[in-house]
Structure 1
Amino acid sequence: MPPYTTEPDFFVQADAHDILSSFKNEFYFPTIQNQSAIYFCGNSLGLQPKKAEHIIHSELNSWRNNAIEGFFHGSHPWLYYQEYAKPTLAKVMGCLPHEVTVMNTLTVNLHLLLMSFYKPTSKKFKIIMEAGAFPSDQYAVETLVKHFGLNPENTIIEIEPEPGKKTLTTENILQTIHQHAHELALVLMSGIQYYTGQLFDIPAITEAAHKCGAVACFDLAHVAGNVPMQLHNWDVDFAVWCSYKYLNGGPGAVGGLYVHEKYATDTTFPRLGGWWGNDEKERFKMGKGFKPKANASGWNISTTQVMNTAALLASLEIFEAAGMEAIRNKSIALTGYLEFLLQQLPHLSFEIITPSNPNERGAQLSLFFKENGEAIYHKMLENGIIVDYREPGVIRVAPAPLYCSFADVFAFYEILKNNF
């Protein structure tokens, strides 16, 4: 791609050569004042794939025509519904199909997997996470350690940025892991920090945790469908994510999880069991004795959420066609273009707190306003730009490459330049 410029010819040429440009037509866009909005909020809720209605309608037809027999008949028998998401999700998350499944929602899955993997002893019981992690993760870890009769104050170690900085360094994270190695049981980090947009070095953190005998796990809510992963090759123990952000699964969409095959295929590995995680060959014998499936679906608890999963399947068809490599390549270019244009607006008093290195971020740039951040956010909405605001003072801007264009980014820049 040629060097970025502020001339309209740049975005015209960039969009003309964009191999993913046609996918924009696969989504519905919201409107503001009867105009199609510029949507940079896929990090909160992805857009609706147009195929979602068809797939959900197909399952409604199966329910209407087959009733209970829909579990065994129809185009996608419900008994195996979680299986239909696995092949593409495995590609998106960089793992084997038997290491991934869909179920519940993100924090429920986090609780379930923490109960499997967190095994505190009198010597090794501490948990490391980043300070300012998303509240759900903080609550999950706090209540987990209380469940084991431990004190969060001396059990949870929160890594904070160095004084005067907004983001962590990998060295800081690894140093903290090393410092607490003799007491450390588990490291739980975000893949991408929701507030700053910082992408953490997952393989380095995993390796450091394993060197001191700790579990390495990640909340990948802001990673899934955004940045390609290699969870299996990096030897990550487990990960969880939601499907309503970059994966476009819809509000309340079914959550996803990954469990490394060394645990997933070990049916003796502890877990909280449920009927849907039991081996299908044994399920309808209705007998005592939980016999988990020898894959990540052995953590399934209840009947698959068919309607929630159907919308995700519509989006995964798009991911299968586009491919994560192409998505990531466009994302780097699109976010780089956004950063360049924002740097041409010195009259606006803000700081981009997301790392400038493309290897340390995804599709999101977090703009920190020392004052008037929320007012500027509302002004953006009035001008047809959908972003989101997070206290204190951050407007998050996320041009998702499947449905955002270089023209969108330029229009965003023009609105900022001419209205603020």
Structure 2
Amino acid sequence: MFRAENQSEIMFENSLEYARKCDASDALASFRKRFHIPKSASGEPFVYLCGNSLGLQPKAASEYIQKELRDWSSLGVEGHTEAEHPWLPYHEFLSVNMAKIVGAKPSEVVIMNTLTTNLHLMMVTFFRPTKSRYKIVIESDAFPSDKYAVESQLKFHDIDPKDGLILWKPRKGEELCRFEDLELIMKEHGDSIALLMIGSTNYYTGQSFPLKKIVELGHKHNTKVGFDLAHGVGNIQPNLHASGADFAVWCTYKYLNSGPGSLGGCFVHERHADDKDLKRFAGWWGHNKETRFNMRHEFDALSGAEGWQLSNPPILSMAAIRASLDTFAEAGFDNLRKKSVTLTGFLEFLIDDLKDDRISIITPRNPDERGCQLSIQVKSADKSLHTKLTEAGVISDWREPDVIRVAPAPLYNSYEDVFHFATRLKDTLD
């Protein structure tokens, strides 16, 4: 028996019996049955801990998509107004549930495009460089797509990324970024920084950053602040409205289980909702709904995040997202977050209990500074270790040079999943 660090009220035990006892008392355990769990060639379910890369398929997704296909076949173009869930306002059916997950008002969120497209659209609006204020700050090990996007925006404005890009780095010999080092960057360069663009939860380390503190720091220096929630949405509660962030973007195919390559989401704080002077790339779906189909009107941006839409949405993709968001709403995000803290705490305990000097967890130990992901560093390992784990029936994620990322998602992962992972990792290392 062991009292987990930062989990002082919980006494974990390293046994299958204990894991099954936890599952038996888990109020959310039944949601696992609502997802398709991949199986091996022998028919055994995989231990699937890769929701940080691609979430599992909700069984309801097929039903939701089939309903739109039936309406398409029977109604044709009339489905835009006559379908059970009319296609014209379809994105609006997602806003309330999506807003709850990111801690925003429904008018501040919209499902549209894909993550990097939305990031570029937001930077068109919120990265407005001048001769003296033109730099962007990102974390040093940001997801490559973010780095590519901000570098290309700098180049678009004829700014050399070597001059215009500032990296918030961990200290030598450390894996995690310290907030006080970001404060130092802003103190030294704040007058020249136009945008803070931080990943809310780092894809590699699993570190979740203090969003409200970052926003307050940026705004203190008259800097716009945005977040990439790709590894945070559906995983941590970012409380976007209360944080005061200018914007945020995310994908929906990881923790939100919407399917490979599905649509992304976007948040624009309500203080920008009706600012007609904000520059943006416009499209007809962001135009006033009352005159949208009178094609000869000048662009009249909708209020709120909807005003950044470009095109009419792909309904089949949105149907899959609606299936997942309905499941989240039924489970309750606060309930999911509570389970996530305990489930990942159990995983942390089991990894520590291996007592293997080759293994270290680089993700923060404090549950308030992480989501469900743990990044496990294995000294002198290479991808062959991950291959052996896969052969042992575990689906996880390998990141060079020596990290296995595992993410027990509270909607469909069990305490028994976590126990089996630790057991199979030990066997693989042995």
TM-score by length of 1: 0.98
Identity of aligned residues (%): 43
Give unpaired runs (5+ residues) of structure 1.
none
Q: For residue 409 of structure 2, what is the aligned residue in structure 1?
A: 400
Contact 1:95/1:232, CA 8 A, preserved across alignment: yes
Contact 1:366/1:396, CA 8 A, preserved across alignment: yes
Q: Secondary structure at the match of 1:401?
A: coil
Task: Return the alpha-carbon distance in structure 2 between the equivalents of residues 411 and 108 of structure 1.
Answer: 39
Task: Return the alpha-carbon distance in structure 1 between the equivalents of residues 242 and 364 of structure 2.
Answer: 25
Q: CA RMSD in A?
A: 1.1
Q: For residue 327 of structure 1, what is the aligned residue in structure 2?
A: 336
Alpha-carbon offset, residue 340 of structure 1 = 0.5
Q: Of residues 364, 367, 390 in structure 2, which corresponds to 1:381?
A: 390
Q: Of residues 292, 301, 306 in structure 2, which corresponds to 1:292?
A: 301
Q: Does residue 96 of the first structure (1) align with residue 129 of the second (2)? A: no
Contact 2:95/2:106, CA 8 A, preserved across alignment: yes
Task: Return the alpha-carbon distance in structure 2 between the equivalents of residues 10 and 172 of structure 1.
Answer: 42
1:20-419 aligned at under 5 Å gives the runs 20-33=28-41, 34-347=43-356, 349-419=358-428
Give unpaired runs (5+ residues) of structure 2.
1-8
Alpha-carbon offset, residue 104 of structure 1 = 0.5
Task: Return the alpha-carbon distance in structure 2 between the equivalents of residues 308 and 402 of structure 1.
Answer: 21
Structure 1 window deviating more from structure 2 (7-16 vs 35-44): it is 7-16
Amino acid at match of 2:16: P
Contact 1:267/1:294, CA 8 A, preserved across alignment: no
Contact 2:258/2:321, CA 8 A, preserved across alignment: yes
For 1:169-190, what per-residue CA distance to the aligned partner results, in whole angstroms no more than 9, with x for missing partners?
1111222122211111110000
Task: Return the alpha-carbon distance in structure 1 between the equivalents of residues 195 and 237 of structure 2.
Answer: 24
Alpha-carbon offset, residue 28 of structure 1 = 0.3
Task: Return the alpha-carbon distance in structure 1 between the equivalents of residues 151 and 266 of structure 2.
Answer: 21
Q: Secondary structure at the match of 1:281?
A: coil
Structure 1 window deviating more from structure 2 (7-16 vs 204-213): it is 7-16
Q: Of residues 3, 11, 14 in structure 1, which corresponds to 2:11?
A: 3
Task: Return the alpha-carbon distance in structure 1 between the equivalents of residues 178 and 275 of structure 2.
Answer: 35
Amino acid at match of 1:23: F
For 1:32-75, what per-residue CA distance to the aligned partner results, in whole angstroms no more than 9, with x for missing partners?
13211111000000000000000000111111111111111111
Task: Return the alpha-carbon distance in structure 2 between the equivalents of residues 18 and 336 of structure 1.
Answer: 15
For 1:357-403, what per-residue CA distance to the aligned partner results, in whole angstroms no more than 9, with x for missing partners?
11111000001123223111111110111001111211100000000
Amino acid at match of 1:405: S
Task: Return the alpha-carbon distance in structure 2 between the equivalents of residues 2 and 252 of structure 1.
Answer: 38
Runs of 4+ in 1 over 4 A off after TM superposition: none
Q: Secondary structure at the match of 2:54?
A: coil
Task: Return the alpha-carbon distance in structure 2 between the equivalents of residues 89 and 219 of structure 1.
Answer: 15
Aligned residues: 420
Q: Secondary structure at the match of 2:353?
A: coil
TM-score by length of 2: 0.96
Contact 2:101/2:234, CA 8 A, preserved across alignment: yes
Q: Of residues 9, 22, 28 in structure 2, which corresponds to 1:14?
A: 22
Contact 1:128/1:177, CA 8 A, preserved across alignment: no
